[in-house]
Chain A
Amino acid sequence: MGLELKNLYDDFRDGETIKAYAKIIAEDAKKLKKPINIMEVCGGHTHTIMKFGLPQLLPDNVNFIHGPGCPVCIMPKERIDHAYVLSMQPDVILVTLGDMIKVPGSKGSLQDARAKGADVRFVYSPMECIKIAQDNEAKKIIFFAIGFETTTPMTAVLVDQVIKLGIANIFFHINHVTVPEVMVELIDSRDIHVDSYNNQIDAFLGPSHVSVISGSKIYEKFPKEYGRPVVVTGFEPVDAMQGISMIVKQFVQERCELEIQYKRVVSYDGNLKAQALIEQYFEKISLFRWRGLGNVPDSGLKLKDKYATYDAEVLYKDVLPIAEIEDHKLCICGDILRGMAKPKECTIFGTACKPTSPVGSCMVSSEGACAAYYKYGNLI
Chain B
Amino acid sequence: MTKNITIAHGNGGEENNELIKSIFYKHFENDILAKSEDAAVIEDGKLAFTTDSFTVSPLFFPGGDIGKLAVCGTCNDLAMMGAKPKYMTCSVIIEEGFSTRELEKIVRSMKKELEINGAIVVSGDTKVVPKGAVDQLFINTTGIGQIEHKGITASGIKEGMSILVSRDIGAHGATIFAAREGIELESALETDCASLYPQVKALIDSGINIVAMRDATRGGVSAVLNEWAKSSDVCVEVKEESIPVQEEVQGICEMLGFEAVDLANEGTFVLAVSKEEESKALKVLQRTHTTSAVIATVSEQYKARVILNTSWGTKRFLDLPTGELLPRIC
Contact = CB atoms under 8 A, between A and B. Distances in A.
A283 interface: no
A15 B329 contact: no
28 contacts: A15-B310, A18-B312, A44-B330, A98-B326, A99-B323, A99-B329, A101-B324, A102-B8, A111-B7, A114-B7, A115-B6, A115-B7, A121-B181, A123-B183, A124-B256, A124-B327, A128-B182, A146-B329, A147-B329, A151-B330, A355-B322, A355-B323, A356-B8, A367-B328, A376-B317, A377-B316, A379-B316, A379-B317
Given A56-B314, A379-B315, A148 B330 contact: yes
Given A5-B247, A379-B317, A98 B327 contact: yes
B130 interface: no
Contacts of A16: 312
Interface of A: 4-6, 8-9, 15-16, 18-19, 22, 44, 47, 50-54, 56-57, 71-72, 97-102, 109, 111-112, 114-116, 121-124, 128, 146-148, 150-151, 209, 237, 355-356, 365-367, 375-379
Contacts of B329: 71-72, 97-100, 146-147, 151, 365, 367
A306 to B, nearest CB: 28
Interface residues of B, number: 38
A173 B319 CA distance: 35
B236 to A, nearest CB: 14
A301 to B, nearest CB: 16
Nearest to A374: B319
A56 B182 contact: no
Contact of A356 (B15, B256, B257): B15
The SS class assigned to the A binding surface is helix
B5 A57 contact: no
Given A99-B329, A112-B6, A375-B319, A54 B247 contact: no
B311 interface: yes
Given A122-B327, A128-B182, A53 B14 contact: no
A33 to B, nearest CB: 28
The SS class assigned to the B binding surface is loop
Contacts of B313: 15, 19, 56-57
A366 B319 CA distance: 13
Interface of B: 2, 4-8, 14-15, 181-185, 241, 247, 250-251, 254, 256-257, 307, 310-317, 319, 322-324, 326-330
A60 B170 CA distance: 38
Contacts of B6: 109, 111-112, 114-115
Contacts of A123: 182-183
A99 B5 contact: no
B314 A6 contact: no
B330 A379 contact: no
A5 to B, nearest CB: 4
Given A98-B327, A98-B329, A99-B328, A52 B314 contact: yes
